[in-house]
Each structure stands twice: as structure tokens, then as C-alpha cells.
Amino acid sequence: MIQPSKRLELLLLTALPALITLALAIFFLTSKHITGLNHFMPILPLIPVFYWGMAHAREMPYWFVFAVGLTMDAVMGMPLGLSSLLYVFFLMMLHAQRKYIHKEGFMIKWGYFALLLGVTCALNWIMVTFFNARTEALMPALLQWVMTVCCYPFMHKGFDALYEYISSRRWQILHGN
């Protein structure tokens, strides 16, 4: 039988990817006080969604990704449900290809992230353009994509270390150490 303190630690280890995603979403949504920066701020919440959705699919449930997207739409004034739809689409496409890229090297994962993010950003730009009934500027969307893709390697490295720690700690707790 597992002690209550160990159960609490297991619960925290399980919730850690979602908590990191939530913290990055809050950082993404906070005012930056730099004119124009909010238009092409990296989409930081999608990086842990990609990493944890690829590494451990159960760590990033669809309902959580939907809730993060809905919150972001409500705060940013976007059409309600657009980000939720796109984030769930992002996660579904990742899960559909997960078995092919899970064991690949970093460059393949980074390239797939860039491609999947590019499709998601393009769909977002198209839907916002149709919703507003006018052509939105393409440069902020492109800069946002570039900045997000450039942030991925740094966060991937940190998530790799965290993933190893979580895996080893879970094994220690579940096997009596």
C-alpha cells in the first residue's frame, strides 16, 4: 500500500505537465507593456501540449487543452472556441502521428512541431480573417510562428530533464523506494 504522502506526490507528478501548460498560458496572456509584442508573442502553451502529448499522451487530455484554448479566447477577445478547436485539432493530429515520431530524434520532432504549428497558425489566420470579414495582417502570424518554433528547442531540453525526473520518481514510488 502506498503512503498518503507518496500518493500526493504521484498526483503532483501527474499534474505537473498541466500546471506547466497553465503557467505558460498565463504568461502568454499577461500584458507585456511593449507596443505590438502581443501580436506575435510565441504561442508558449502549445509547446508543452506538443511535448507531453507526444511523450505521454495521458498527461495532456483533450478536455484540458480545450479549457486552455477557451480561456485564451475569452481573455484575448478572439472568437470564443476558435483556439479550443485549433488546440484540440493540434493534439489530435499529434496523437494520429505519435507512433511514427515518438522514437525519432530531436530534429524530426522539431520539424514536425514546426509543420503542425504552421498548419494550426494558418488555420487560425484563415478563420480570424473570415470571422472579421477582412484580411488580417499575415506578418504578425508569421512572426509568431517563427518565435514559437525558435523557443521549442530550449523548452524541449527542459522538458526532457523533467520527464526523466518524473519517470524515475514514479518508478521509485511505485516500486517501494
Comparing 22-31, 82-91, 151-160, the range with the smallest average pLDDT is: 22-31
Of 140 and 86, which is predicted with more confidence?
A: 86
- Asked if residue 52 is part of any domain, the answer here is yes
Selection from 25-34, 133-142, 165-174 with the highest mean pLDDT: 165-174
Q: Letter for the amino acid at 84?
A: S
- Taking the complete model, does pTM exceed 0.85, yes or no? yes
pLDDT averaged over every residue in the chain: 90
CB 84 within 8 A of CB 106: no
Compute the distance between CA of residue 68 and CA of residue 83 in angstroms, rounded to an integer: 8
**Percent of residues, the chain, with pLDDT higher than 90:** 65
The residue-averaged pLDDT of 48-74 equals 93
**What is the predicted pLDDT for the residue at 60?**
92
Number of separate domains in the chain: 1
- Asked if residue 149 is part of any domain, the answer here is yes
**DSSP annotation of 37:** G
pLDDT band at 119 (very low <50, low <70, confident <90, very high): very high
**What is the predicted pLDDT for the residue at 34?**
62
CB 55 within 8 A of CB 163: yes
- Asked if residue 36 is part of any domain, the answer here is no
**What is the predicted pLDDT for the residue at 32?**
67
Domain that residue 82 falls in:
4-30+41-174
Tell me the pLDDT tens digit for each residue of 28-60.
888 666 665 556 789 999 999 999 999 888 889
- Asked if residue 147 is part of any domain, the answer here is yes
Count of Cβ atoms closer than 10 Å to residue 61 Cβ? 13
CB 110 within 8 A of CB 51: no
- Asked if residue 75 is part of any domain, the answer here is yes
User: How far is CA 26 from each of CA 4, 23, 93, 100, rounded to the nearest angstrom?
Assistant: 31, 5, 25, 32
- Asked if residue 168 is part of any domain, the answer here is yes
- Asked if residue 17 is part of any domain, the answer here is yes
- Asked if residue 35 is part of any domain, the answer here is no
pLDDT band at 103 (very low <50, low <70, confident <90, very high): confident
Count of Cβ atoms closer than 10 Å to residue 101 Cβ? 15
